[in-house]
């Protein structure tokens, strides 16, 4: 499902183009790529030791993160997924029998008490969805700014490397170069079905 990088353009048209590309990819190709991405993620040193990781529950067209989540459960890892908390995210534990309910955007969230929620800075690793990325691990999200606001402390404390922010995407979501702003939080890595991009590196 490889594709040439999309030329950069203003964010709204670019988001529309990337959503179209992603949804037009055959479902079986997306599912195969999602499995390959999950396998590649487990090769990252960032996932070697942490007892917990945060992921997400996929929406139509996104990389199916459930492959990675099931593998985490199999390995005995605790899995957390985002829930909306005002204009930011907190993270709730997810198990195979967790009851879910849709949030205001229609995204499933665990039904848990507020005492069970974790703050972003308490997480070791976060697997993030995205619409687009470039070779420098810049991330284009859906436009709500939830991830940037939630992990903005990484900008104030640039020496921090926790949590490790790992974006997962299909090859066809790569952009030549994303325009960036001061509040954008860069990823530490991007994993696709064919390669792993590391921040400040383009190693395969």
Q: What is the pLDDT of residues 30-80, one digit of tens each?
A: 999 999 999 999 999 999 999 999 999 999 999 999 999 999 999 999 999
Whether the CB-CB separation of 55 and 68 falls below 8 Å is answered with: yes
Digit-coded pLDDT (tens) for 128-154: 999 999 999 999 998 889 999 999 998
pLDDT for residue 10 = 54
Residues whose CB falls within 8 Å of the CB of residue 203, separated by 6 or more in sequence, listed in order: 196, 197
Helix/strand number for the chain, H first, E second: 5, 11
Q: Identify the band that residue 183 occupies on the pLDDT scale cut at 50, 70 and 90.
A: confident
Q: Is 159 helix (H, G, I), strand (E, B) or coil?
A: coil
Query: Count of residues for the chain?
Result: 204
* pTM summary value: 0.90
Structure tokens at 118: 């974790």
Q: Any bridge partners for residue 167, and if so which?
A: 128, 190
pLDDT for residue 203 = 40
User: What domains are there in the chain, each with its CATH number?
Assistant: 11-175+188-198 (3.40.50.10420)
- Exposure letters 100-129 (e unless 16+ CB within 10 A, then b): eeeeeeebbbbeeeeeebbebeebebbbbb
Write out the H or E segment, with its range, that includes residue 168. Answer: strand 164-168
């Amino acid at each position: 499902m490889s594709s040439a990088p999309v030329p950069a353009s203003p964010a709204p048209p670019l988001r529309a183009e990337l959503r179209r590309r992603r949804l037009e990819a055959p479902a079986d190709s997306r599912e195969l790529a999602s499995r390959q991405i999950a396998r590649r993620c487990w090769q990252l040193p960032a996932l070697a030791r942490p007892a917990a990781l945060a992921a997400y529950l996929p929406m139509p067209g996104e990389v199916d993160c459930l492959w990675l989540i099931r593998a985490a459960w199999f390995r005995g890892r605790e899995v957390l997924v985002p829930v909306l908390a005002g204009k930011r995210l907190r993270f709730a534990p997810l198990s195979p029998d967790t009851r879910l309910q849709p949030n205001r955007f229609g995204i499933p969230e665990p039904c848990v008490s507020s005492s069970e929620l974790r703050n972003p800075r308490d997480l070791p690793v976060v697997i993030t969805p995205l619409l687009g990325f470039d070779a420098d691990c810049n991330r284009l999200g859906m436009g709500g700014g939830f991830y940037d606001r939630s992990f903005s402390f990484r900008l104030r404390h640039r020496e921090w490397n926790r949590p490790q922010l790992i974006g997962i995407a299909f090859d066809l979501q790569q952009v030549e170069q994303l325009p960036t702003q001061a509040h954008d939080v860069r990823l530490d890595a991007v994993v696709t079905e064919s390669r792993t991009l590391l921040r400040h590196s383009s190693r395969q």
